[in-house]
Structure 1
């Protein structure tokens, strides 16, 4: 069986479409026949709300609870925190309990790898595990990156927003050196692009400037009304507007995500 690929979607800047992208990539991978687990690593629970659980803070069990179990050494007998979504993938909800976990991790041994221990305990049932990171570079994001094979970085199609990536890239490189040597940047992809000349110029500038140092994916996610509605529609863009521009873009992004793993596997085979 092919190795599970664990992918974080991260950017310390908020409002760049992280949760929407995790939802749509996960739904697209499931449509492709992959077994997929989404994990909401954000105390705000935005992804969890998108997936239909409007009151994540009232849930009896979520990611914060299982991370607390890992810290305390308690064996997780049944994974009741894993829920099934009607679009064919599983997910682990996140809620404000994660804030307490993040604060408590400061005093924990191996605090950077608590989430990795949890992911390692469940990932064998899946082809892809996608982690939706909070907009920060705190301990929860460090845990997500420590658990991942790749990080995808959504960037709003605005050059100044793109410049904010520098700190995140530095954090990724530090985690690769000190905690998780297998971590790679799978790619930067542009979100919220509209049809104006200014935006097209921005997209070109980002690709020219960052493409020298980072893999910039070909897909550009457009800003559309239907895509904005995904946050409250209880369905991904593939169900909400399957023949629209945004669904076509996310379909392209899913193909690129599939190709990232295949490329890497090809390189590994050549090395052997």
Structure 2
């Protein structure tokens, strides 16, 4: 099982879009893929038309057993998506209460890792969509993943968020003695604007080989796909965004980042 987490300490940078589209492209290759929603906002869950406020079971359930995950539980939570081979472990808004209620309990940072251990033979890839703040949920995502993807919108405020994210990684690596293979993915790039061009130059200048050598463009097809609850390859496989996500997946599968 390959476990990738998608994270950034700034919202609205394309985390969910990146996770969904990479997951769908992996499923298109015949891989068994699980999308794991750890964000209390439930953007990935809502993407596939599930209501985070009305779910009977969600990723929140995994944190209600004092770090000991019942073997039956993960499969009870997992739901289907419209894409063959692509399943979802959805989130509920109840995740927002975790920091207050259970963050001090022992073992809470390894709940996702223990969950994936129970699913290890069921999936080839897991993509975790984590919340845009440092807390028990992001720590779970970082503890579970072997590779971290950091989407960064090509605008100035997103660069500041990236600084916080990299600082967080440094802290986690020191405290847990774990190194991360991570790739920064420029998103929402608009070559018609000086802001996007300048931010892309700054990314490459400041982070060098940690930055993917291409970018995800602004593309209305991505909005159309999300409206339909489908990934871009099912809406327009020849669109600019679809081509770029295929290129990104190729880079990741070839060991880049």
Instruction: Tell me if both proteins adopt one fold, taking TM over 0.5 as the criterion.
Output: yes
| Counterpart position of 1:104 | 101
Mapping for residues 128-167 of structure 1, pairs under 5 Å: 128-167=125-164
Deviation at 1:141, TM superposition (A): 0.7
From 211, 218, 222, give the equivalent of 1:223.
218
Deviation at 1:40, TM superposition (A): 0.4
From 228, 249, 252, give the equivalent of 1:257.
252
* TM superposition outliers: structure 1 runs of 4+ over 6 Å: none
From 32, 38, 42, give the equivalent of 1:41.
38
Measure the CA separation in 2 of the matches of 1:148 and 1:126. Answer: 14
| Counterpart position of 1:52 | 49
From 65, 83, 92, give the equivalent of 2:79.
83
| Counterpart position of 1:242 | 237
SS in 1 for 2:76: coil
Alpha-carbon RMSD: 1.9
Deviation at 1:234, TM superposition (A): 1.2
| Counterpart position of 1:206 | 203
Measure the CA separation in 2 of the matches of 1:188 and 1:73. Answer: 34
List per-residue Cα deviations over 1:194-232 (Å, max 9, x = no partner): 121512333123112221xx5111230011111123332
Pairs aligned (count):
254
From 228, 232, 240, give the equivalent of 2:227.
232
Deviation at 1:247, TM superposition (A): 0.7
SS in 2 for 1:119: helix
Deviation at 1:161, TM superposition (A): 1.8
| Counterpart position of 1:170 | 167
Mapping for residues 13-52 of structure 1, pairs under 5 Å: 13-52=10-49
Measure the CA separation in 2 of the matches of 1:74 and 1:85. Answer: 24
| Counterpart position of 1:73 | 68
2:36 touches 2:89 (CA, 8 Å); kept in 1?
yes
SS in 1 for 2:241: helix
SS in 2 for 1:124: coil
TM-score by length of 2: 0.91
SS in 2 for 1:255: helix
Deviation at 1:23, TM superposition (A): 0.4
Range with bigger deviation, 159-168 or 71-80 = 71-80
TM-score by length of 1: 0.87
Gaps of 5+ in 2: none
Measure the CA separation in 2 of the matches of 1:62 and 1:108. Answer: 20
Measure the CA separation in 1 of the matches of 2:124 and 2:38. Answer: 19
List per-residue Cα deviations over 1:152-202 (Å, max 9, x = no partner): 100001244223212211222222232362x41320010001121512333
Cα 1:99–1:180 shift into 2, 3 Å: farther
